[in-house]
Chain A
Amino acid sequence: MERVFGRAAALQDRVNHYCPGCTHGVIHRLVAEAIDDLQVREKTIAIAPVGCAVLAYNYFNCDSQQAAHGRAPAVATGVKRVLPDRIVFTYQGDGDLASIGMAEIVHAANRGENITVIFINNAIYGMTGGQMAPTTLPGQKTTTSPFGRDVKTMGNPIRVTEMLNTLQGPAFLARVSVHDPKHVAKAKEAIRKSFETQVNGQGFSMVEVLSTCPTNWGLAPTEALKWLETNMIPQYPLGIFRTPEEVAK
């Protein structure tokens, strides 16, 4: 019988630790499929963050390094510069990338490091139990903004992709979501394109993926998907912000 669906080779045969209904799992699969499609698994090095994806090396079936909180872009830079023909990607949450690691991501992007960044924006710190993130929405309740994020004292949510889009370094920038199958398909396309950008040596690529945290949002998985769609997308508009073709012009 012809096999039409199976585990991506770039994923290990292992049950992951993510909470039920969390979209980290879907995004792992999309990343693995992109690696498979481009047939680069054997020369790929994954950089895991601090956050819920800290154990990503247990799930991706490729060489991996685990980085300190926020430092994945610097670690990826070190790997890529000494092994320029390998494919290096980081997988980072919003606390990791947009708070403690803000300098690292901005400067890796600005240098045009030929790496791929998968940026998981779930508007909260998942692993540490639901504290406010730089991406938390105005009015959103978290354990450290129990009365809702007050932008007057806590600042506004940071739109990282728009911010990086002001730099000349990046070659590919996109924001996608995984709240329904149609958007998952689009996310897959963008993630594939981000790896392709690196394979072609075109420079820094990042895909921001809007993701859910049912556990810390205190919502059932399906409600969480709905919450993402109605609350996050207006704050974080989806789209392709930059492509290597535009950069070439």
Chain B
Amino acid sequence: MAERVMMKGNEAIAEGAIRAGCRCFFGYPITPQNEVPEYMSRRMPEVGGVFIQAESEVSAINMVYGAAGAGVRAMTSSSSPGVSLKMEGISYIAGAELPCVIVNVARGGPGLGGLTPSQADYFQATKGGGHGDYRLIVFAPASVQEIIDLMFEAFVTADKYRNPAMVLADGLLGQMMEPVVMKELADLKMPPKPWATTGMVERAQNVVNSLGLVGEDLEKINQRLQQKYREIEANEIRFEDDGTADADLVVVAYGTSARIAKSAIAKAKAEGKKVGLLRLITLWPFPKQKIAELAKAGKEFLVIEMSAGQMIEDVQLASGGQTPVHFYGRLNGAIPTVTEAYQAIMKYMTGKGVE
């Protein structure tokens, strides 16, 4: 039976993971995601799982590597400076093709930054962060309910492609409380993991590894990885299209700024403006084709981000210079208000002479 409860975003991350079959959590405290390890430390023993407060983010992600390599659903969560530390392990996990989930409840940077919400980790999440040619499947929830739903999707997709998935939220989503519908623990049919290192009883040796010492071998490994990434791009792009078809201006946003954009768009629409919203649910794979089509149809774009402008580069690339791509951003630690987002929308509507 589905139950309706009030929940904090960070708790939803934890409970959503458990309901998705996650049975081990390795983490290290950092604000604003501390409720995740705190919740896990209470709940994991109840479901027969493993909780370890690691000595560092570096250790936590490497514990995830070990556990994921042994074939179980494993996760870690952190916030921006901690996620930077995890990047070493994430690169190894991607190289060894292990499924797992990494959550970033992002805060402002660079450096120690601050504790307030930010979207300035977009580049790190979608372009690497760790070394080498690898990709994370990056999910960007915009509500507490969606956090729960996407935690499930993240584990399933990670398993499907043997690839690490990241859930990129921000401090506001982590701290906000909203009513959610908790589904019963699903029938967690996990795919078989014949590659896992579980002991070689009646089978050949399994090795979890990201080493390719011979140059050409390593190139082959990378070609296979790239092939997998193309497959993910073909199958896993997710976005919410809210009236882009008959819009003159398409707002592109994700997470918290998409929520704010939504209210601002409603206000502009009430005044008869033709504005639509393209809310990204996966940041990678990125909806290149969708944006190219909208650009071809002559629509202008407004990217709203809580950063100096990171995702705007992907929108510009995808639109191929066919129409203008505008930007409204607030830097680390500042959240745009609905009024500011509305004013930004009106500015570019006005500029276009469609008033």
Contact = CB atoms under 8 A, between A and B. Distances in A.
Interface of A: 41-45, 47, 54-55, 57, 61-68, 71, 74-83, 86, 103-104, 106-107, 111
Contacts of B209: 57, 64-66
Contacts, number: 131
A63 B207 contact: yes
B211 A79 contact: no
Contacts of A67: 62, 65-66, 92
Given A64-B208, A82-B23, A74 B63 contact: yes
Given A66-B96, A66-B209, 16 more contacts: A41-B200, A43-B201, A62-B199, A71-B62, A74-B58, A75-B63, A75-B65, A75-B69, A78-B64, A79-B66, A79-B67, A79-B69, A79-B70, A83-B70, A86-B198, A103-B59
Contacts of A82: 23-24, 50, 66-67, 70-72, 74
Given A82-B50, A82-B70, A63 B200 contact: yes
A42 B206 CA distance: 11
Contact of A71 (B58, B96, B201, B213): B58
A81 B52 CA distance: 9
A126 B62 CA distance: 24
Main secondary structure of the interface of A (DSSP, over half): helix
Nearest to B23: A82
Contact of A81 (B24, B55, B58, B210): B24
B24 A71 contact: no
B31 interface: no
Given A79-B70, A81-B67, A103 B56 contact: yes
Contacts of A63: 197-200, 205-207
A57 B207 contact: yes
Nearest to A75: B66
Contacts of A44: 199
Contacts of B155: none
**Nearest 10 interchain pairs by C-beta:** A78-B66, A74-B62, A78-B63, A78-B67, A63-B197, A75-B66, A43-B199, A107-B55, A71-B62, A65-B208
B211 A78 contact: no
13 contacts: A44-B199, A55-B213, A63-B198, A64-B197, A75-B62, A75-B65, A75-B66, A78-B69, A79-B197, A81-B24, A82-B50, A86-B199, A104-B58
Interface string B33-76: 00000000000000000101011101110111111111110100
B89 interface: yes
B139 interface: no
B233 interface: no
A102 B62 CA distance: 14
A103 B92 CA distance: 19
B26 interface: yes
A105 B90 CA distance: 20
Contacts of A74: 54, 58-60, 62-63, 65-66
A68 B205 contact: no
B88 interface: yes
A16 to B, nearest CB: 14
B130 to A, nearest CB: 10
Contacts of B201: 42-43
A104 B52 CA distance: 13
Given A63-B207, A67-B62, A77-B66, A104 B55 contact: yes
Nearest to A64: B207
Given A81-B52, A82-B23, A82-B50, A68 B59 contact: no
A64 B199 CA distance: 9
A78 B65 contact: yes
Contacts of A61: 205
Nearest to A69: B88
Contacts of B197: 45, 63-65, 79
